[in-house]
Amino acid sequence: MTGKQFRAAAVTAAMMACAAVFGKGSAVAAEIKLIASPGVRAVLNDLVPQFEKTTGHKVVMDFAVIAVLKRRIDAGEAFDIVIPSPDVIDELIRQGKIAPDTRAAFGRTGVALGVRKGAPKPDISTPENLKRVLLEANVVGHSKEGQSGVNFLEALNRLGILQEMRPKLRALNDEEQVIALQRGELDISTSGMGVIMEMPGADFLGGLPPELQSYVKFAIGVGAASKELEAARALVRFLTSSAVAPTFKAKGMERD
């Protein structure tokens, strides 16, 4: 059995267990609203359709950087599941907006770099190589509000080139980075690992060298006011099960 076949078998087994409790036999299929950081989108795009197919439930997903998610929730937006940072989950629990027993670690992702598809792919595997590549670039994009942008700037600071790089940096959201990269307006895009791996029109260069890498951590929880508590809890159990760990790895995320 190949690695891909093994992963598929493991996920299928987990989904069968989930369906046994909340499966297609349910009288009414639930619609689950899930809001999350773009850093986990690649994982969810792979796993959520499997949950939907097995259970008959529908999951409506919406992605925004963690700071924006928090503002939306503070403004009263309803949701069934949210995947932000652990500290945001903890704050939402204190505010009574997350069911405490549903809180779970969701994983972490590092900062990665990409170039326009078909462009030369320089070696960034060491701090010295990365420094040279960045200094030779004309324009480098990074996340406007996401934690990956903060971590990238900190890496530049540790390399000793932050001030030198400032005229070359463009703070953009993920959609803006996609457009700018495809138009040739960026030499390098930076964001979370999964975001760069699946960015349209981009070729993946790799993560920051280990000496410079830092991580954005994620946590998951079910909204205390959710009208689909059981279905939402089932999805959380599936997404945090050991069976899906290989999918996380394949999409550039690490389990805590």
Do residues 176 and 222 both lie within one domain? no
- The answer to whether residues 193 and 232 belong to one domain is no
pLDDT in tens, 97-113: 999 999 999 999 999 99
Q: Would you say residue 41 lies in a domain?
A: yes
Query: Do residues 195 and 136 share a domain?
Result: yes
Query: Residue 7 sits in which domain range?
Result: 3-108+217-250
Please report whether residue 255 resides in a domain.
no
Residues 45 and 91 in one domain: yes
Q: Are residues 99 and 47 in the same domain?
A: yes
Residues 137 and 197 in one domain: yes
pLDDT at 12 (0 to 100): 52
104 and 133 assigned to the same domain: no
Q: Are 51 and 18 in contact (CB under 8 A)?
A: yes
CATH of the domain at 29: 3.40.190.10
Beta strand extents in the chain (DSSP E only): 31-36, 58-63, 81-83, 104-116, 140-143, 169-172, 188-192, 202-207, 215-222
Residue 104 lies in a domain: yes
State residue 24's pLDDT score.
46
Q: pLDDT (tens digit, 9 = 90+) per residue, 59-106?
A: 999 999 999 999 999 999 999 999 999 999 999 999 999 999 999 999
Total of domains in the chain: 2
Domain shared by 73 and 129, yes or no: no
Residues 66, 142 share a domain:
no
Segments of the chain with pLDDT less than 50? 6, 9, 19-27
**Cα distance between residue 196 and residue 192, in whole Å:** 6
Give the dihedral sign, CA 84/75/170/163. negative
Pairing of strands 31-36, 215-222: unpaired
Q: What percent of the chain has pLDDT over 90?
A: 86
The predicted model scores a pTM of: 0.84
Helix pair angle (147-159, 127-136), 10° resolution: 100
- Give the per-residue pLDDT at 23: 44
